[in-house]
């Protein structure tokens, strides 16, 4: 690292790179499972705004990833993997050697039954009027200086190309299960529910859209307030697009934030009706009971992990289409838990399975008509100091000519199959 002179976290690359701008850097020693290496991260601000999605669309490297935070609106897009691991990291630690402390090392990915997490090569961030490029390089002995130099120049001189119009034709819609199958399954399930103490099951179904041509993932990226946005594009026609209100947890060092969300009412364009639905959620015994189950399940899990702080009052969480009962938790973790451990301890929650857990989980295995795969699994990013994961409820899986939409609904003993069918239909967000 002799060629990098550092002045309080700034790197002067002017001599070696002939690049006339200020770069922030951090050089870390990183361990991910058995792998040990150095990671150099370079960051620089752009003097002008840039459209992140246009930038991502015009890149030729995969995977392509996009993440928008639900509260802060921080948007990050990334592409190209420095490396990928096909499991949740069992060990992740970084140690600063030189440069800036607060330049995070993040693995982005999907923690489904076949997980996939990667360290992106190129990142572009938009947060509070700032646009920031970042580059990640790993090495064991010497830095690929020439490659870094050309990457910086190339990224800085990006010009957005016009977005091509796509006339794709939807020619077939298929449901899994179909209405008849859903009816039959629910009738059997309700019968069994009445004989057990399981009072709620969250059953999901698929709506498969078949198009004439390969689907362009970028046609499916929309923005909705109060949702986590997560997009993982493995290949040009293979992607997961999730728009989810549901946080699994946010961790900062030894502090973990999570939440219980349950009960659903629609939103209304009139304030009066909207407030009525909201009032109804608060007053309805069934919804409050349902939220209690989700809360109890989480509390039991979180109490194992550390000291728990909970609010005793439920509030209302609103997305543009629906509203839910909501309660937040803060946990002071009692040990240096790995995110792998935290994810496995908290997921799946009663909110996506049913209650009481884990009986609901077992019953679901019997009745749901497909493997959930990337549906209802933790998605987001894991760093050593911080991690943020949401749950991919309300998502679309894009594969070649097909878009598979997923949505679930909470089935209670008193549920009517056709009404539940209709409710899930409203939850398909596209
Ligand atoms: C589904 O069940 C309802 C009763 O809950 C019935 O009215 C309806 O005809 C059934 N539909 C199908 C397609 O089986
Ligand atoms: C479900 O929606 C269909 C079509 O919109 C409607 O005809 C039916 O009455 C609804 N059923 C229930 C139980 O809400």
Q: What is the pLDDT of residues 72-122, one digit of tens each?
A: 889 999 999 999 999 999 889 999 999 998 899 999 999 998 999 999 999
Q: Whose CA is nearest to atom 2 of ligand 2?
A: 422
For 358-401, strand residue ranges (E) read 378-383, 386-391, 395-399
Which protein residue has the closest C-alpha to ligand 1 atom 8?
418
Please tell me the distance between residue 331's alpha carbon and the centre of ligand 1 in angstroms.
Answer: 45
Distance 182 CA to ligand 2 centre (A): 14
pLDDT computed for residue 101 by the predictor? 87
| Span 195-213, average pLDDT | 93
Ligand nearest, relative to CA of residue 179 = 1
Check if 418 has its Cβ closer than 6 Å to any atom of ligand 2: yes
Q: Are 100 and 84 in contact (CB under 8 A)?
A: no
Q: What pLDDT score does 192 carry?
A: 93
Which is more confident, 369 or 345?
345
Of 170-174, 290-294, 303-307, the least confident: 290-294
pLDDT of 157 reads 74
Q: Would you state the pLDDT for residue 367?
A: 94
**For residues 233 and 298, is the Cβ–Cβ distance under 8 A?**
no
The confidence band for 12, taking pLDDT boundaries of 50, 70 and 90, is very low
Specify the ligand 2 atom closest to the Cα of 416.
13
- Name the packing angle between helices 179-195 and 359-367 (round to 10°): 150
Pair 106, 83: CB distance under 8 Å? no
Lowest mean pLDDT among 14-23, 147-156, 224-233, 334-343: 14-23
DSSP string, 274-337: HHHHHHHHHH-HHHHHHHHHHHHHHHHHHHHHEEEEE-SS-EEEE-SSEEEEEEEEEEEESS--
pLDDT at 429 over 70: no
* Lookup: tokens for 298: 């989480």
**Most confident residue range from 5-9, 74-78, 267-271, 422-426:** 74-78
pLDDT at 14: 44
416 lines ligand 2 (CB under 6 A): yes
If you measure from the C-alpha of residue 189 to the centroid of ligand 1, how many angstroms do you get, rounded to a whole number?
Answer: 15
What spacing in Å lies between the alpha carbon of 13 and ligand 2's midpoint?
65
Element containing residue 255 per DSSP (H, E): strand 255-266
Q: Are 259 and 329 in contact (CB under 8 A)?
A: yes
Distance CA 242, CA 329 (A): 24
Across 224-238, 307-321, 352-366, 400-414, least confident range: 307-321
Ligand nearest to the CA of 182: 1
* Strand (E) or helix (H) holding 100: none
Confidence of residue 136 (pLDDT cuts 50, 70, 90): very high
Q: Nearest ligand to the C-alpha of residue 180?
A: 1
Percent of the chain scoring above 70 in pLDDT: 94
Write the pLDDT tens digit of every residue in 333-360: 999 999 999 999 999 998 899 988 889 9
Closest by CA position to 319, among listed 380, 408, 228: 228
Determine contact, residues 243/222, Cβ cutoff 8 Å.
Answer: yes
Q: Which of 2-6, 44-48, 260-264, 375-379 has the lowest mean pLDDT?
A: 2-6
CATH superfamily for 170-427 is: Anthranilate synthase (3.60.120.10)
User: Residues near ligand 1 with C-beta < 6 Å?
Assistant: 179-180, 183, 416-418
20: confidence class by pLDDT, cuts 50, 70, 90: low
Q: What percent of the chain has pLDDT over 90?
A: 61
- Whether the CB-CB separation of 233 and 214 falls below 8 Å is answered with no
More confident residue, 314 or 132: 132
The answer to whether 27 touches 137, Cβ cutoff 8 Å, is: no
- Whether 321 and 426 have beta carbons less than 8 Å apart is answered as yes
Please state the rounded mean pLDDT for residues 260-270. 83
Per-residue pLDDT reduced to its tens digit, 167-189: 889 999 999 999 999 999 999 99
Q: Rounded distance, CA 9 to CA 95, Å?
A: 15
Q: Is the pLDDT of residue 323 over 90?
A: no
Domain coordinates of the chain in residue numbers? 2-155, 170-427
- Any idea which of 38-42, 201-205, 265-269, 341-345 has the lowest mean pLDDT? 265-269
pLDDT attached to residue 17: 54
Mean pLDDT value of segment 35-62: 92
* Cβ-contact 200, 360 below 8 angstroms: yes
Q: What is the pLDDT of residue 375?
A: 95
Task: Single out the residue of 93, 83, 98 nearest to residue 40, CA to CA.
Answer: 98
Nearest-atom index, ligand 2, CA of 422 = 1
pLDDT tier at 158, thresholds 50, 70, 90:
confident
What is the predicted pLDDT for the residue at 430? 63
Looking at every residue in the chain, the average pLDDT score rounds to 89
Name the 3-class secondary structure at 122: strand
């Amino acid at each position: 690292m002799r060629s990098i002179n550092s002045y309080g976290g700034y790197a002067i690359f002017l001599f070696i790179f002939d690049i006339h701008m200020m770069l922030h850097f951090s050089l870390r020693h990183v361990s991910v499972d058995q792998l040990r290496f150095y990671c150099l991260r370079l960051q620089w601000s752009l003097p002008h705004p840039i459209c992140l999605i246009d930038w991502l669309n015009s890149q030729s490297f995969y995977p392509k990833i996009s993440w928008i935070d639900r509260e802060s609106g921080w948007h990050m897009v990334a592409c190209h993997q420095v490396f990928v691991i096909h499991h949740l990291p069992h060990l992740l630690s970084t140690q600063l050697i030189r440069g800036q402390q607060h330049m995070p090392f993040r693995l982005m990915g999907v923690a489904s039954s076949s997980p996939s997490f990667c360290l992106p090569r190129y990142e572009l961030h938009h947060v509070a009027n700032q646009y920031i490029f970042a580059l990640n390089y790993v090495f064991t002995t010497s830095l690929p200086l020439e490659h870094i130099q050309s990457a910086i120049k190339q990224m800085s001189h990006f010009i957005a190309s016009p977005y091509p119009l796509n006339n794709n034709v939807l020619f077939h819609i298929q449901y899994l299960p179909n209405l008849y199958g859903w009816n039959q399954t629910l009738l059997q399930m309700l019968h069994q529910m009445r004989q057990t103490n399981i009072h709620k099951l969250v059953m999901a179904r698929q709506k498969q859209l078949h198009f004439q041509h390969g689907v362009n993932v970028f046609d499916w990226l929309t923005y909705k307030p109060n949702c986590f946005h997560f997009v993982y594009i493995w290949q040009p026609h293979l992607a997961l697009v999730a728009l989810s209100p549901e946080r699994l947890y946010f961790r900062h060092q030894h502090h973990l934030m999570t939440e219980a969300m349950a009960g659903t009412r629609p939103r209304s364009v009139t304030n009066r009706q909207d407030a009525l639905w909201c009032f109804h959620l608060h007053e309805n015994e069934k919804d409050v009971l349902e939220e209690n189950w989700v809360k109890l399940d989480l509390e039991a899990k979180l109490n194992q992990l550390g000291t728990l702080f909970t609010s005793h009052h439920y509030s209302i969480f609103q997305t543009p289409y629906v509203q839910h009962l909501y309660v937040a938790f803060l946990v002071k973790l009692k040990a240096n838990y790995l995110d792998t451990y935290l994810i496995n301890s908290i997921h799946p929650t009663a909110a996506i399975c049913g209650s009481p857990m884990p009986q609901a989980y077992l019953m679901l295995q019997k009745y749901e008509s497909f493997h959930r795969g990337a549906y209802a699994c933790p998605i987001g990013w894991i760093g050593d100091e911080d991690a943020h994961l949401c749950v991919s409820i309300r998502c679309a899986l894009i594969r070649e000519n097909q878009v598979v939409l997923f949505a679930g609904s909470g089935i209670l003993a008193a549920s009517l199959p056709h009404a539940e069918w209709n409710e899930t239909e409203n939850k398909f967000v596209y």
